[in-house]
């Protein structure tokens, strides 16, 4: 008797099946494949992300224990450690990158109406990187230091919805600022970066492309003031100046006018200096904009805590890339699910529900409805369930 769809099937309802199949055909991902297709591979690893599986044996055991559900989960027979390991080695990781970008594009459209603390109509990106440590013995291709290995995720987050719009994976030893050369620049958008990206040549290229940026100054940044605007010092603002760079090479690298805003945090009494080419907003808005850079830090913290990218189930470059991109695709799927079902709960709470209910047939929207929550808080309801 049909009693509804599995929770996992309800999540995968938002997966772009036709677009994924076109991508698979483009990269010949299912050529010579009989049992374990690219779709089954994706679903198996997405299941591992949602339920916290950390090894091939863990995935194999959990799925085969629930073998009767595999067909409804879109996973063909033949789930084994050998099949998973082989797929991680030979399937083109670009298949999963491309489908992740499709999901990201969909998610960003859903979150375009989100309001910001600052009145800015165009897109605001927070750009930064995080290092994922690896074992040098198992990942010799990712050598970082004498005794450790690692890779870097250079990521630009659309702060409306905290959706990653750009991800570039490199060796951990590559300097952060080099990733700016790969960053696609959108005219009219604003990019928030810390002072690790204070490269005047690259910032001027960003400026010439019609984009805005807000970054931090360094102690040795030489700035020649041309004129100042009055500021409200009761808010912690110290100055709002227009000027040019000075020194030996900086004026040639960035010859145009810049804006410097100085601010003292009233809580920590820490002095912060901001450098930007965004001239028209209030100086306090520059401080609020830079504070939004923490969206990318929170994204890194979230995926490291709740998605499985710290323990890799393959040791080759291809396997690591596949796992990272499927983790990103899973994040985008949960973000889409939250928005399309109009769930008020946060991503953490939704993921916790999915992790323990993946084989249930409870409608997700009912599970998060208010009556359900009220019942769950009722001690008599809990006692009745227990006995």
CB atoms within 10 A of CB 118: 17
- In the prediction, which pLDDT does 380 show? 35
Same domain, 276 and 350: no
Q: Is residue 135 part of a domain?
A: no
Least confident of 113-122, 174-183, 303-312: 303-312
φ, ψ for residue 224, nearest 5 deg: -105, 115
Q: Is residue 72 part of a domain?
A: yes
- Which tokens in the block code for residue 47? 């299941």
Q: Is residue 179 part of a domain?
A: no
Q: What percent of the chain has pLDDT over 70?
A: 93
Structural domain that includes position 250 = 194-287
Same domain, 283 and 343: no
Q: Is residue 378 part of a domain?
A: yes
Query: 377 or 51: whose pLDDT is higher?
Result: 51
Q: Is residue 130 part of a domain?
A: no
Q: Is residue 304 part of a domain?
A: no
- In the prediction, which pLDDT does 185 show? 93
Asked whether the beta carbons of 243 and 228 are under 8 A apart, the reply is no
Total domain count, the chain: 2
Over the stretch 210-255, which tens digit does the pLDDT of each residue have?
999 999 999 889 999 999 999 998 889 999 999 999 988 899 999 9
Over the stretch 72-117, which tens digit does the pLDDT of each residue have?
888 876 688 888 898 999 999 999 999 999 999 999 999 888 888 7
For β-strands 163-171 and 258-264, DSSP reports them as: unpaired
Same domain, 280 and 320: no
| CB proximity list for 165: less than 8 A, separation 6 or greater | 104, 108, 125, 156, 157, 158
Query: 371 or 203: whose pLDDT is higher?
Result: 203
Q: Is residue 173 part of a domain?
A: no
Cα dihedral 62→67→68→70 (10° resolution): 90
Over the stretch 183-201, which tens digit does the pLDDT of each residue have?
999 999 999 999 989 999 9
Same domain, 258 and 222: yes
| CB proximity list for 379: less than 8 A, separation 6 or greater | none
Q: Which residue, 248, 268, 287, sits at the end of a domain?
A: 287
Same domain, 38 and 92: yes
Name the helix (H) or strand (E) containing 340.
Answer: helix 317-340
Q: Is residue 331 part of a domain?
A: yes
């Amino acid at each position: 008797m049909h009693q509804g769809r599995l929770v996992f099937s309800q999540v995968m309802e938002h997966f772009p099946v036709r677009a994924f199949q076109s991508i698979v055909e483009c990269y010949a991902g299912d050529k010579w494949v009989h049992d374990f297709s690219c779709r089954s591979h994706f679903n198996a690893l997405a299941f591992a992300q949602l339920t916290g599986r950390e090894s091939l044996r863990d995935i194999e055991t959990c799925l085969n224990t629930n073998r009767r559900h595999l067909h409804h989960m879109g996973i063909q027979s033949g789930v084994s450690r050998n099949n998973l390991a082989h797929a991680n080695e030979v399937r083109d990781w670009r298949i999963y990158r491309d489908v992740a970008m499709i999901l990201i594009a969909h998610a960003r459209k859903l979150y375009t109406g989100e309001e910001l603390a600052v009145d800015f109509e165009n897109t605001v990106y927070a750009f930064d990187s995080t290092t994922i440590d690896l074992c040098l013995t198992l990942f010799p291709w990712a050598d970082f230091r004498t005794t450790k290995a690692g890779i870097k995720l250079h990521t630009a987050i659309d702060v409306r919805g905290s959706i990653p719009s750009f991800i570039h994976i490199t060796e951990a030893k590559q300097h952060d600022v080099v990733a700016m050369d790969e960053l696609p620049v959108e005219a009219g958008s604003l990019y928030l970066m810390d002072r690790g990206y204070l490269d005047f040549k690259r910032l001027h290229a960003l400026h010439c492309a019609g984009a805005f940026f807000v970054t931090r100054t360094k102690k040795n940044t030489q700035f020649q003031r041309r004129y100042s605007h009055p500021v409200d010092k009761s808010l912690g603002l110290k100055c709002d100046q227009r000027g040019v760079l000075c020194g030996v090479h900086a004026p040639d690298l960035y010859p145009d006018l810049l804006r410097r805003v100085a601010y003292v945090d009233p809580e920590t009494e820490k002095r912060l200096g901001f450098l930007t080419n965004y001239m028209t907003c209030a100086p306090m808005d520059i401080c609020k904009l830079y504070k939004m850079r923490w969206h990318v830090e929170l994204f890194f913290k979230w995926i490291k805590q709740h998605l499985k990218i710290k323990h890799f189930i393959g040791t080759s470059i291809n396997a690591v890339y596949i796992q990272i991109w499927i983790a990103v695709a899973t994040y985008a799927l949960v973000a889409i699910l939250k928005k399309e079902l109009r769930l008020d709960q946060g991503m953490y709470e939704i993921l916790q529900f999915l992790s323990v209910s993946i084989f249930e047939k409870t409608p997700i929207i009912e599970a998060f409805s208010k009556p359900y929550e009220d019942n769950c808080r009722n001690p008599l309801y809990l006692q009745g369930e227990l006995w």
